[in-house]
Structures are given as C-alpha cells and as structure tokens.
Amino acid sequence: MSNVLVFFDVLGETLSFTQRELIAQAQSLGEVHIAIGAYQGDPTPALAISGVGEVYLAEASLPAPEVAVVDLLETAVAECGAEVILGSSTADVTDALARLAVRLDTGIICSIAALTGELLATKSELAGSYTTVSQLAPGLSRPLIATFRPNSLDPQRVDALLDAGDQPDGTVLPVRPSQGGVEVLHREALKVSARPALAEARVVVAGGRGVDGDFTPLEELADELGAGLGASRAATDAGWIEHAAQVGQTGVTVSPQLYISAGISGAVQQRSGMQTAGTIVAINKDEDAPVFEIADFGVVGDLHEVIPQMIEELRRRKG
Amino acid sequence: MVNAPLHIITLVKWVPDAQLERRYNAEARIDRSEGVLSELDEYPLEAALQLREAAADREVRVTALTMGPAGSSTAVKKALQIGADDGYQLTDDALIGADIWATSVALKAAVEAVAGAAEFESGEPEYLVLTGMASEEGESGAVPAQLAERLGAHVVTYATGLELEPERLIVTRSGGTESQKVAVRMPAVVSVTDQANDPRYPNFKAIMAAKKKPLTRFSLADLGLRAEEVTAKVRVLSTQARPARTAGEIITDEGDAGLKIVEFLAKERLL
Ligand SMILES: Cc1cc2nc3c(=O)[nH]c(=O)nc-3n(C[C@H](O)[C@H](O)[C@H](O)COP(=O)(O)OP(=O)(O)OC[C@H]3O[C@@H](n4cnc5c(N)ncnc54)[C@H](O)[C@@H]3O)c2cc1C
C-alpha cells in the first residue's frame, strides 16, 4: 500500500460530495493524508473519517491563486512520503498540482476517471470519444500526480466506503503566504445555487437559445427532477443565465445519468461537454438539429409547450 | 521601469479540427496528419493584439510561437495573418509523444530563446506569455502553470479580461467559487478563456502583409536541448474508441410530447 496525499484547495465546514469522493478514491490506494490550501477556523472536524491520517496546513490560510500552496504540497509530500498525489480536476487545483509536478520532476495525468493499485489511470479523451489507459513512464520511481474528474464514483458507493472516525490532528508546516508577484485586488464570491452543482448532478436540465430569455420553465423542471441547471454558450453569452452554467468544451463537463437538452442545437463544443451522459433527451423545434443524432429520446417540438406539460405530468405522478 | 517595451509571446497550437472526427493512431498517439490553429488560441492572440493597440505610448510586439510537427507552421502563418508581428516554430521528431511535462520543458527553452532574440528600439523589454485556456485535444489546462514554474514567472490562469498598466497587468479571472481581479507583474504567463473577447478574422490586406512577416524555425538542438531532456514522463498504454452515440427514438410533438418524455423517463427508471 502507498501513501496518498489528497489536496483540497479549499475546505469549508463540511466536505463536498467531490471531496468525499476523492477520499474514497484515495483510500483504495493506501493510507490517506490531506493537505488543505484555504480554510477558516479549524478544518479538521470535517475530516473525522476513518483512515484519514495526517492533515497538513500552512501557517496561514492560502486561498487561490496563492502560489505558496505548492510549497505546502512539496513539504507535505516530503513529510508523508506520498507516492500518489491526488486532487480534483478544477482550475486552481490543476495549477497547483502542475507546478508540484515540476518541483518533483514527475508526470501529471489530468481528469482521470479511475486509478488502479498498479497506478494505471483511465480517462476519457477527445471529448469522450476515446478511453485511454496511461501510467508513469516505466522505470520512474517518482510519485504520480493525478487529478480526478468529479462524479466518477456512485454516491452510494462513496457513502459505503467512508466510515466516521476520530477527528485527525492538524500538522502546521513551516509555509507562509508568498509576497508580491500576483496581488489580489478584488474577490467576489460567485452566487451558489441551491440546486445540485452542475459537475456533480445526477440529472442535468440544460437550455439554449431556444429558451428565448426566460429560464423559469427550465428552473421549474430542474427542481421537479432534483436536477442541476445548465445552458449552452448562446444562452450564457446572452446573459440569460450565469457563465458558470455553461456546459461544453469551454464550460463545465458533465456526465450525468440523464441530460435533458432544450432549445440547444448541439454544436460540437456543446456536445463535447455532455455526450458521455447516460441518457440524453432532446427537445428542439428543428428536426435537423445535430443534437438528435445523439439523443436517446428526441422530441421535435416547441419547448415552451413540451416543458410545462412535463412539469404538470411529473407533479401529477407525484400525487 | 515605467513603459518598458513589452514582448507578448502567444502560444498557438496546431490541433486536429474538432469539427471533424479525431482519432488515435496505432502508436496510441493522436493523429496529427491534419490540423488547424486551435480555436482556443485565437482568444489569447486577440487579447495580445488588443493590448498592443491600447498601448499608445509603449512599444509592444506580438510574437506567435508554436511547438508541433512540420504542419504546425500553418498555425503560425494564420496567427501572422490575424496580426502577430513575427512567428516561431519549434519542430523536432524527439517531441513526438510529448506529455505536459515534456511540453513545458521545450516551451520554456523556446520562450527564452524567442525573448532573448528580440530587439526593441526603446530599451530592455519585459515579456508576457499568453496561452489558450487549454489545448483542444489534451484539454488538461496544466501547461501554463508548469511553464510559469519553469520560467520563474508569475501565472494567472483563466483570464476573462486583461488591461495593461505601466508596471503590471490587471487580470479578471473566474476562480472556482469566485470572480477575482488580480494584478500581476512581468514576466508572467496568463491563460485566456473564450470569455475574454471576440477574435478578429484576417482580411485580404492582412493576409498579403503576413507573407512578409518573419517565420523562424528551430529544433531542440538550436535551443540547446537533448532528446533525453524531453522524454515524456507519462505514457499512454492503450486507447479505445467509444462506440459512437446513435440516435434513439425521435417523435414529433402532437400535443402530448411532454407526457411521452415522462413515460420514457419512467420506463428507463430515471425518475
Ligand atoms: C471556442 C469555442 C468554444 C465554445 N464552447 C462552448 C461551450 O462550452 N458550450 C456551448 O454550449 N457552446 C460552446 N460554443 C458555442 C457553440 O459553437 C454554439 O454556438 C452554441 O452551443 C449554440 O448554442 P445553442 O444551441 O443554444 O444556440 P443555437 O445554435 O442558436 O441553437 C438554438 C436551437 O434552439 C432551437 N429552438 C429555438 N426555439 C426553440 C423552441 N421554442 N423550442 C425548441 N427548440 C427551439 C433551434 O431549433 C436551435 O436548434 C463554443 C464556440 C467556440 C467557437
């Protein structure tokens, strides 16, 4: 069994599903240690999970884009002798782990879906059209650094894999925030929606230009289905919904059990972010829309009629 | 130094066209026999041109740099047509199969060579490297941070807005859970998203003018690098094409399509 270091760039009062998933992934590889960049107060109560060993912190919280997180990671790796270092495939985590790979003179594999005990990484490539298996070059006795795509494990499996345990101790390492270079002038928290986070949602309802400015029917449908709400770039560019909702090549990649696409043509950049969904349902006025080439169930029709009827029927069935 | 000349080096990649079918070859490498300038690299290029145009009292040069197979010179030529002042192409058989690690080793040497070769009339330049948010085929987005680490430069990723001030660059970016405005000093590496601007198209005049712009080609040896220094740390063992998605049942709404979708979802146990 190896020592595994898991990196959380930020930890709130409780672990997110993705963070729990990452710990579950790491547990299958060996003893789990955790390094945390930004936090408030004492972050250790949230980590009271059986099998979690050391928790490494810097002398002060290190919120992204603070570059000193790399010093924290480098020191933590030396402390625990990690042979595998894992994080989520988000921008800030990727930045930190990519720099760590330079410091440790080792390879990094991004956005993987699974990692075996032999450190073979499986991932989806070319917008979901290929699955590849990769590993560190043979003969390299170096740690492997990898980022995981969220939602690679079933939530029930994650729950089953994680048992409550004692609250771990935090180890403060001699790492301080950096000086100068990149100075943050202004931070503004993005609105958090009460709906499931897009990348983690098991069901996604997404709307495009066909929504024509009003997302209310899609919001209602999403709430009926407990779904995350997504959009095409045409809809986010028009300002009908925040950019964070964009699904696709330059937005969020989703892989839900069910993706409902409404008023979206299905351009390649949109498809590349959603075509690994389990089931795709499409509603579009244009029977030639490319989205119908990949839909499991397609309706040629007006979303303004179809969606309200869906909502009504879902409510009727719920009684 | 106030108003030192600025050398903006934009990285442009030649990638398989995402509109067409992309595939792996028998050596588990992406088929690169044909390509286009990555759409995602048009945004940093546009950002560079806008910075140059806005800097009235400052000498700014925009250089396009690519690393890739022989055909990748088309990406640089396109960048010259769009408006870059000069172009460089690093091409070498030893770079076939380069991973993130090897790519950033080679690009570091290339950026230093390009920055070192440039002469400016108004003094010693500072340099700024602009990149796309990710490559279109690898999509890792990890190269900018690695390159910055190797160059000893500052890094800001996922920029949605850039503004030049005398001694620093102001960048707006969307971090994971917040939007940020940061000031970064040179030398810096900044990755730019598709939210930053609307890239321009080359017109006929620009296409003609591009023919006169210099395009320099170099190899690893020209950069003082040996093949062993760019051996990939990560190997792809196998690749498997996923069965293409096929169309399922398509119906035309006859006033009951909403009901039919719900029936379908119930039948598939998705409710
Ligand atoms: C570099 C780059 C990156 C990109 N990244 C992304 C990305 O990440 N995500 C993304 O989505 N796009 C992305 N795009 C944009 C993409 O190419 C498309 O332009 C975009 O997805 C189109 O959005 P849309 O389908 O909503 O709009 P349109 O293409 O305008 O399609 C609207 C559709 O709605 C249908 N419609 C209209 N009214 C109704 C109605 N009442 N009922 C039912 N159907 C209706 C129409 O028939 C049409 O098919 C990117 C583009 C570039 C160049």
What is residue B149's predicted lDDT score, i.e. its pLDDT? 97
Say yes or no: A319 contacts chain B, CB-CB below 8 A: no
Helices (H), chain A: 17-27, 69-80, 91-103, 155-161, 216-225, 233-237, 268-271, 303-318
First-to-final CA distance of chain A: 52
Longest pairwise C-alpha distance within chain A: 62
Q: Which residues in chain A land under pLDDT 70?
A: 1
Query: Is the pTM value of this prediction over 0.90?
Result: yes
Report phi then psi at A112, rounded to 5: -85, 160
**Contact status, residue A128 vs residue A276, Cβ threshold 8 Å:** yes
Going by C-alpha positions, the residue among B1, B2, B11, B48 that lies closest to residue B148 is B11
pLDDT tens digit sequence for B36-65: 999 999 999 999 999 999 998 899 999 999
Query: How many Cβ pairs closer than 8 A exist between chain A and B?
Result: 265
- Interior/surface letters B87-119, b for 16+ CB within 10 angstroms, e for the rest: bbbbbbebbebbbbbbbbbbbbbbbebbbeebe
Centre of ligand 1 to C-alpha A264, Å, is 5
pLDDT of residue B2: 57
CA of A201 to the centre of ligand 1 (A): 21
The verdict on whether residue A193 carries a ligand-binding annotation is no
Q: Which atom of ligand 1 is nearest to the CA of A208?
A: 26
How far B228 CA lies from chain A's nearest CA (Å)? 13
Domain B6-241 grouped into CATH 3.40.50.620: yes
Nearest protein CA to atom 15 of ligand 1, as residue: A233
CB contact under 8 A, A132 and B239: yes
Q: Write out the E strands in B147-269.
A: 154-165, 168-174, 178-184, 188-192, 215-218, 234-241, 249-252
Residue A151, annotated ligand binder?
A: no
- Minimum CA–CA partner of A259 in chain B: B270
For A294, the closest chain B residue by CA position comes to B247
Distance (Å) from the alpha carbon of A149 to chain B's nearest alpha carbon: 11
Contact flag A305-B194 (C-beta cutoff 8 Å): no
Count the helix, strand and coil residues of chain A and give each as a percent rounded to the nearest 5.
30, 30, 40
Instruction: Among A67, A71, A74, A102, pick the best mutation site for testing chain B contact (most B Cβ within 10 A).
Output: A102
CB A63 within 8 A of CB A176: no
Q: What was the pLDDT predicted at B1?
A: 46
Residue B175 pLDDT level (bands cut at 50, 70, 90): confident
The crossing angle, in degrees rounded to 10, of helices B143-151 and A91-103 is: 40
CATH superfamily entry for domain A198-318 = TPP-binding domain (3.40.50.1220)
Ligand 1 pocket test: pick from A198, A212, A233 the residue with the most ligand atoms within 8 Å of its Cβ: A233
Reported ipTM: the value is 0.95
CA distances from A93 to A54, A85, B176 (A): 20, 11, 9
E-state strands within A253-302 = 258-262, 279-284, 297-300
Q: Is A280 on the interface with B (CB under 8 A)?
A: yes
Q: Where are the domains of chain A?
A: 3-173, 198-318
Determine whether the annotation assigns residue A226 to a binding site: no
Question: Which residues from chain A sit within 8 angstroms of residue B260, using beta carbons?
Answer: 299
Give DSSP secondary structure letters for A196-207: PPGGG-SEEEEE
Phi-psi map region of B244: left, alpha, beta (phi>0 left; psi -120 to 50 alpha): beta
Residues in contact with B257: Cβ distance below 8 Å, sequence separation at least 6, in sequence order? A283, A299, A301, A305, A306, A309, B251
Beta strands A258-262; A279-284: pairing state? parallel
Closest atom, ligand 1, to C-alpha of A209: 26
Mind listing the pLDDT tens digit for each residue in A265-279? 999 999 999 999 999
Q: Which residues line ligand 1 (CB under 6 A)?
A: A 208-210, 232-235, 246-251, 263-265, 267, 269-270, 273, 283-286, 289, 302-304; B 39-40, 194
Q: And the tokens for A151?
A: 């939602």
Sequence spans of domains, chain B: 6-241
Q: Is A157 annotated as a binding residue?
A: no
- CB-nearest partner of B140 from A110, A269, A279: A110
Question: A251: closest CA among B15, B156, B133?
Answer: B133
Interface of B with A in 83-112 (CB under 8 A): 99-101, 104
Contact of A283 with chain B, judged by CB distance below 8 Å, is answered with yes
A142 and B239 in contact (C-beta within 8 Å)?
no
Q: Does A177 touch chain B (CB under 8 A)?
A: no
Distance from CA of B51 to the nearest CA of A (A): 19
What number of residues does chain A have? 319
Q: Is the pLDDT of residue B94 over 70?
A: yes
Ligand 1: which residue has its CA nearest to atom 47? A286
Given a cut of 80, is residue B266 above it in pLDDT? yes
Pairing mode, strands B6-11 and B14-15: unpaired
Query: Quick check: A187 and B148 CB within 8 A?
Result: no
Q: For residue A107, give the nearest of B101, B150, B253 by CB distance.
A: B101
Q: Tell the CATH topology of A3-173.
A: Rossmann fold (3.40.50)
Tokens of B249: 């049942």
DSSP code of residue A112 = E
pLDDT of residue A224: 97
Average model confidence (pLDDT) across chain B: 95
Do the first three CATH levels of A3-173 and A198-318 match, i.e. the same topology? Answer: yes
| Rounded Cα–Cα distance for residues B48 and B43 (Å) | 9
Reported as a single tens digit per residue, the pLDDT across B203-252 is 999 999 999 999 999 999 999 999 999 999 999 999 999 988 889 999 99
